[in-house]
């Protein structure tokens, strides 16, 4: 769309559009249309129609048809979660007169399709057949009819396709720019079958439980996007064992739990622009890990679940790199194993996301080493990092930043003229810090977005200028007409204004100048300062006693008022080798005589769901967590990963949730850092083989697991 060169033209067009809207001659962006009973039909943007039909039983009925205007407009049909037993050559003929570009038949219990079932859809571009039960031979034959359409994308996920023959896709071999979604089907990679789709440009092969893959004979010369998310790779696949991925631009290998990242396995991907590695368990990152990718634009390497312990210098060294997402890794940016020059060589970096790492002990000089060379940065995100101040290197050297996010930290002071060098800054996010007072010279008035809600504001005359600004430009502060975020801007002091919304304050510059005796205020604040210093000194001297007292009071209160509702009373984390002990000793007592509801993975985990998702859901749905600790548990990588997830949950929700059972003395060579920290901070019960020891063990276990709010309903005892 060309930009108008004459402002007079813009005025005329605006007037015409205003008149047209007033006279209702222009239809809305979404218009509800008359539709088949049980369906919803809408028209979007004047040229597109959607028909949504959910849960229809069409066993002996013709398929529902869209409005007549669909004959000339692009139409998307969603026939999902119903019953359509078969697709004969005539079933879809009812749609031949319409301009159907998108058809979803997801989860309709389809078991049979004819050869020409789809050949009548002469406008079809996207087809979703996922979650049906079509026999592989029938599905293969139906590709013949699909090839007669202008199809570009096919989704055949979750169809239990486990025996894909080499000629499975032969009818689709000449379809240009083809995109295939083949998720949650098999634990093998049907290399020969997939290579038959000669012009395939995109392949999504996630969730197929692959443990390894041999790409030495691969030939995907047209492939531009490849997704291997949610498989079970232990190490990164070797894409350089053959020279057939030369056009690959987008590669996603997320949530595989990989332990090894060998740069030689992807160094040949010279056209790669987007590289996604989230949710893996890489213990270390080497220097120049990505330097051999000349066209790389974006790297996401987040959610490492506390597995990463070594980060070398210049890991991301690449002058082409524009965006790095290195968030939610809980990496301590000061430890000896973490080199502060990790971003050395990123001379073109524009976006850096470091959310939820650990910076609360990082010094000014270390920040300078970390960020000093990133002068091209435009967006910096550092929320939830425990930062206690805004590093000087950011405000003095990173002057091209337009968006700075420092929310959920411990920043308490904004000095005057802090951002005076950041002339391009137009978005600043400082919500949920510890800022009480903001000087008028602390913030640039050129900001288009300023979110500072959730801070403990001191509502004194020093804040009058800020309240006036909020009244004049509420959208700048994220406050909408509906009151969004308005109630998050509250006074914390003085006491007579505590809880009052900033927008409700009745203060003005005149009243502030005339209504206070300067001497009295000065004297009052001096006395308060002395009291504060004396109290602070006393509290610092006895800080550990105070912390212990507060912890015991809070623990006692939590034990009494824990009224949350949970699906399970206890989630039991154990290794496979201790399964017999859990079933024989723990379940009969806790689910039998104690009537507690336990979650054990052999019985209660959802079949078909990823193990990680099962663990997280079970932890969040349980009132207590019991870890059955043994040498087998300590030696298991999966158990260590499960322990990391539990410790993160405990840190966020309270130590009272966790109870440790020691089945045996743990060999010191098996004790990890995480396990040592847990044993030092958590009381544990020791199992004994003598009768009196077992009785004492279960008496203490019952006491620690009892809850006045537990459900006394039906309990399962068998596994």
Q: Is the pLDDT of residue 636 over 60?
A: yes
Please say which residue of 525, 557, 589 terminates a domain.
Answer: 557
For residue 203, what pLDDT band results from cuts at 50, 70 and 90? very high
Q: Residue 581: give the domain boundaries.
A: 567-705
Least confident of 63-77, 93-107, 216-230, 507-521: 507-521
Whether the bond into 385 is cis, omega within 30 of 0? no
Same domain, 597 and 688: yes
- How many domains does the structure of the chain reveal? 2
Same domain, 523 and 612: no
For residue 564, what pLDDT band results from cuts at 50, 70 and 90? low
How far, in Å, CA of 683 to CA of 660, rounded? Answer: 7
Residues sharing a CB contact under 8 Å with residue 19, sequence separation 6 or more, in sequence order: none
pLDDT of residue 61: 87
152 in a domain, yes or no?
no
For residue 328, what pLDDT band results from cuts at 50, 70 and 90? very high
696 in a domain, yes or no?
yes
Same domain, 583 and 672: yes
pLDDT tens per residue, range 10-30: 333 333 333 333 333 344 567
Yes or no: say if 267 and 244 are a contact pair by the CB < 8 Å rule: no
Both structure tokens of 191: 């290399």
306 in a domain, yes or no?
no
Please say which residue of 557, 576, 608 terminates a domain.
Answer: 557
> What's the CATH code of the domain at 682?
3.40.50.10140
Q: Name beta bridge partners: 591.
A: none
More confident residue, 623 or 30: 623
Same domain, 550 and 578: no
Same domain, 594 and 615: yes
What is the mean predicted confidence (pLDDT) over 62-76? 90
Least confident of 4-18, 65-79, 246-260: 4-18
Same domain, 599 and 693: yes
Yes or no: say if 595 and 570 are a contact pair by the CB < 8 Å rule: no
More confident residue, 537 or 228: 228
688 in a domain, yes or no?
yes
Same domain, 651 and 541: no
84 in a domain, yes or no?
no
How far, in Å, CA of 251 to CA of 246, rounded? Answer: 12
6 in a domain, yes or no?
no
Q: Is 498 left (phi over 0), alpha (psi -120 to 50) or beta?
A: beta
Same domain, 657 and 686: yes
Same domain, 677 and 698: yes
Yes or no: say if 499 and 508 are a contact pair by the CB < 8 Å rule: no
More confident residue, 637 or 282: 282
Same domain, 533 and 599: no
Residues sharing a CB contact under 8 Å with residue 119, sequence separation 6 or more, in sequence order: 89, 144, 145, 146, 148, 149
324 in a domain, yes or no?
no
Q: Is the pLDDT of residue 605 over 50?
A: yes
685 in a domain, yes or no?
yes
What is the mean predicted confidence (pLDDT) over 201-227? 94
pLDDT of residue 509: 67
Whether the bond into 572 is cis, omega within 30 of 0? no
More confident residue, 30 or 99: 99
Instruction: Report in angstroms the alpha-carbon separations of 573 from 82, 578, 644, 699.
Output: 39, 10, 12, 20
Percent over 90 (pLDDT), the chain: 52
pLDDT of residue 409: 96
What is the mean predicted confidence (pLDDT) over 344-348? 96
Q: Which of 246-255, 471-480, 529-538, 645-654 has the highest mean pLDDT?
A: 246-255
Both structure tokens of 704: 């620690």
How far, in Å, CA of 463 to CA of 301, rounded? Answer: 41
Same domain, 575 and 682: yes
Please say which residue of 506, 530, 557 terminates a domain.
Answer: 557
Same domain, 589 and 533: no
């Amino acid at each position: 769309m060309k930009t108008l060169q004459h402002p007079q033209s813009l005025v005329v067009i605006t007037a015409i559009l205003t008149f047209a809207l007033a006279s209702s001659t222009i239809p809305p962006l979404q218009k509800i249309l008359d539709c088949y009973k049980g369906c919803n039909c809408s028209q979007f943007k004047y040229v597109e129609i959607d028909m949504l039909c959910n849960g229809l039983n069409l066993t002996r009925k013709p398929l529902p048809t869209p409005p007549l205007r669909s004959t000339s407009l692009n139409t998307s049909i969603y026939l999902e979660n119903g019953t359509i037993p078969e697709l004969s050559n005539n079933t879809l003929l009812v749609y031949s007169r319409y301009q159907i570009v998108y058809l979803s038949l997801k989860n309709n219990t389809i078991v049979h399709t004819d050869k020409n079932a789809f050949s009548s859809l002469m406008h079809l571009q996207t087809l979703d057949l996922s979650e049906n039960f079509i026999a592989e031979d029938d599905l293969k034959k139906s590709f013949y009819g699909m090839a007669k359409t202008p199809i570009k994308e096919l989704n055949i996920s979750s169809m239990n396709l486990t025996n894909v023959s080499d000629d499975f896709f032969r009818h689709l071999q000449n379809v240009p720019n083809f995109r295939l979604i083949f998720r949650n089907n098999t634990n093998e990679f049907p290399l020969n079958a997939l290579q038959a789709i000669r012009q395939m440009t995109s392949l999504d092969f996630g969730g197929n439980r692959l443990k390894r893959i041999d790409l030495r004979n691969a030939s995907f010369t047209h492939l531009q996007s490849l997704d291997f998310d949610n498989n079970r790779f232990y190490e990164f696949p070797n894409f350089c064992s053959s020279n057939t991925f030369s056009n690959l631009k987008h590669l996603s290998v997320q949530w595989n739990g990989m332990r090894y990242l060998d740069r030689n396995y992807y160094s040949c991907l010279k056209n790669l622009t987007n590289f996604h590695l989230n949710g893996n368990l890489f213990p270390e990152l080497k220097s120049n890990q990505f330097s051999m990718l000349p066209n790389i634009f974006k790297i996401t390497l987040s959610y490492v679940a506390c597995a990463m312990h070594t980060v070398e210098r210049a890991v991301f060294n690449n002058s082409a790199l524009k965006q790095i997402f290195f968030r939610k890794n809980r990496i301590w940016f000061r430890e000896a194993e973490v080199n502060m020059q990790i971003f050395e060589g990123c001379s073109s970096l524009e976006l850096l996301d470091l959310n939820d790492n650990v910076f609360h002990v990082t010094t000014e000089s270390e920040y300078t080493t970390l960020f000093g060379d990133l002068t091209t940065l435009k967006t910096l995100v550092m929320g939830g990092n425990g930062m206690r101040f805004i590093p000087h290197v950011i405000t003095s050297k990173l002057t091209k930043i337009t968006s700075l996010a420092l929310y959920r930290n411990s920043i308490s002071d904004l000095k005057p003229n802090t951002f005076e060098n950041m002339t391009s800054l137009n978005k600043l996010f400082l919500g949920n810090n510890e800022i009480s007072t903001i000087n008028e010279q602390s913030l640039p008035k050129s900001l288009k977005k300023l979110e500072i809600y959730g801070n403990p504001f001191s509502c004194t005359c020093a804040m009058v200028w800020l309240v006036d600004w909020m009244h004049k430009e509420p959208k700048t502060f994220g406050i909408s007409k509906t009151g969004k975020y308005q109630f998050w801007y509250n006074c914390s002091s003085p006491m007579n204004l505590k809880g009052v919304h900033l927008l409700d304050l009745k203060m003005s510059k005149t009243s502030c100048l005339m209504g206070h005796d300067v001497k009295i205020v000065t004297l009052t604040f001096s006395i308060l300062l002395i009291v504060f210093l004396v109290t602070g000194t006393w509290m610092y001297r006895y800080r550990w006693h105070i912390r212990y007292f507060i912890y015991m009071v809070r623990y006692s209160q939590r034990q009494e008022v824990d009224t949350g509702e949970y699906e399970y009373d206890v989630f039991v984390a154990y290794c496979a080798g201790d399964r017999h002990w859990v079933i024989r000793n723990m379940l009969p007592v806790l689910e039998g005589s104690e009537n507690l509801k336990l979650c054990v993975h052999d019985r209660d985990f959802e079949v078909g769901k990823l193990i990680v998702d099962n663990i997280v859901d079970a932890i969040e749905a349980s009132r207590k967590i019991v870890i059955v600790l043994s040498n087998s548990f300590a030696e298991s990588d999966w158990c260590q990963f499960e322990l990391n997830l539990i410790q993160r949950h405990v840190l966020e929700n309270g130590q009272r949730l966790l109870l440790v059972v020691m089945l045996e003395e743990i060999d010191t060579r098996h004790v990890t850092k995480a396990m040592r920290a847990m044993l030092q901070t958590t009381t544990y019960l020791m199992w004994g083989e003598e009768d009196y020891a077992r009785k004492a063990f279960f008496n203490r276990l019952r006491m620690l697991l009892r809850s006045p709010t537990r459900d006394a309903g039906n309990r399962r005892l068998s596994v």
